[in-house]
Structure 1
């Protein structure tokens, strides 16, 4: 993904921030680790890593997007600061999960500042906190005030850096996002994040199209072979993405119609089969009853020892027993 020169200039500022954690300029340049990323998930690990952050990651990963969650993506030996910065730079969407202990992490705050400088869309999620909690921090109030007091007392970061973090939280609080609390269904939140991710960039739609098409060989005409170099212009790619999105909708509708038709056909065949079996069974029973009655009437005609009415009664009992056997 291409970024403006102003964004590229800001990368050096982020690099300096990471150097404060302990990486020198030389080692940073020599050990850069690039991690492909479509959606960067900024979060405070102890609060949400194995909860909401993990759920968002797996939901987006399941449809072929490339979300970044350090625990899921980073391989052993990767230089963490450089990998994180590269992931943020390449992402087309940033998700910031602001939780109760978010401001205790200098990593979270540095990431948030960098994400704002890139100009890439940010979706804030206020996880059991309110937007006002982030807004008041610039005045030294709210649930994050104590965390910033600790940063100032420790003296690890300059006053300018701390003010930058406060301003980042303040600015993010005015962005449209989601509030998660006891009254908000997390499933609905995940659905919203899913839809917002797909709407952010046409490239996302194309990835979803590829994901679906791989499982449907007869639809391969919708997407060229990914191994071949494409000479299409950006306009052609965008047009293809739009057409592909329409084709996917059409494919889904066709699948639904086919499924409904298949179900109706199976029901019709099943009903016809049941009716045939019932008709066959009734015919068989009637034939057996008729045969049994005829046999006993023949006996009545041939016998003079047993009263006729008793023979007839026995014949009908026999016929009834044969009928009820099936």
Structure 2
């Protein structure tokens, strides 16, 4: 990872500010991901989610996005859960239909339970509008409470907001990518300080 981050930082406008942190970045095993991208495909797969994945990949990071990272034969939940647990940072892209997806809510809950650094992006939705919209007859009350807790944690996490009618998609993707890189570097420094 050290060389991948270094390559990105040479090109980054924030290189001068972050160069002193490069010495703390270490290489991770190839089966791990740097960042997990949680999103509702029907709302965001063809715009912000794929653009964020591509931007992070160009920065030599290893993002996980279901349609880009899964291969035929992969066990869906096993692979996704492993990617969440192995990633240090997660990006949760909340959108109007997010709460209708059991998978999105499960992933968010696992991210929060794993104490991941979660970067919320509120895409055409306000934090106060986050709600569980899945059929509650499909889930136990315990699962609903787990999802409610995770959404509450997300509501109270500083994030980015984006209005697709007014905003610049390229700008939000760049800002989110910069934040992911900064958080990864902060985590590496914290790990080194704890050793």
- The two structures have a TM-score, normalised by structure 2, of 0.76
Relative distance call for 1:106 and 1:92 in structure 2 (3 A) is same
Higher relative strand content: 2
Give the equivalent residue in structure 2 for 1:174: 156
Q: Is the 8 A contact 1:93 1:121 kept in 2?
A: yes
Give the equivalent residue in structure 2 for 1:279: none
- How many pairs are equivalent? 162
Larger radius of gyration: 1
- Shift in Å, 1:201: 2.3
RMSD, aligned α-carbons: 2.3
1:69 equivalent in alignment to 2:65 = yes
Secondary structure of the residue aligned to 2:72 is: coil
1:145-294 paired onto structure 2 within 5 Å: 147-148=133-134, 151-152=135-136, 155-181=137-163, 182-202=165-185, 235=192
Higher relative helix content: 1
The runs of at least 4 aligned residues of structure 1 exceeding 2 Å deviation read 201-205
**Structure 1 residues not aligned, in runs of 5+:** 1-33, 138-143, 206-233, 239-326
- Superposed CA deviations along residues 96-150 of structure 1, whole A, max 9, x for unmatched, are 011111111100000000100111110111110111112xx4xxxxxx5xx24xx
Relative distance call for 1:75 and 1:198 in structure 2 (3 A) is same
- Shift in Å, 1:167: 2.0
Q: Report the Cα distance in structure 2 between the residues aligned to 1:186 and 1:235, rounded to whole angstroms.
A: 35
**Structure 2 residues not aligned, in runs of 5+:** 1-29
Give the equivalent residue in structure 2 for 1:133: 129
Give the equivalent residue in structure 2 for 1:58: 54
- Shift in Å, 1:204: 9.4
Q: Report the Cα distance in structure 1 between the residues aligned to 2:115 and 2:187, rounded to whole angstroms.
A: 18
- Shift in Å, 1:36: 2.5
- Shift in Å, 1:173: 0.9
* Greater length-normalized contact order (CA 8 Å, ≥ 6 residues apart): 2
2:97 counterpart (98, 101, 105):
101
Q: Report the Cα distance in structure 1 between the residues aligned to 2:186 and 2:142, rounded to whole angstroms.
A: 37
Secondary structure of the residue aligned to 1:77 is: coil
Q: Report the Cα distance in structure 2 between the residues aligned to 1:118 and 1:68, rounded to whole angstroms.
A: 16
- The two structures have a TM-score, normalised by structure 1, of 0.47
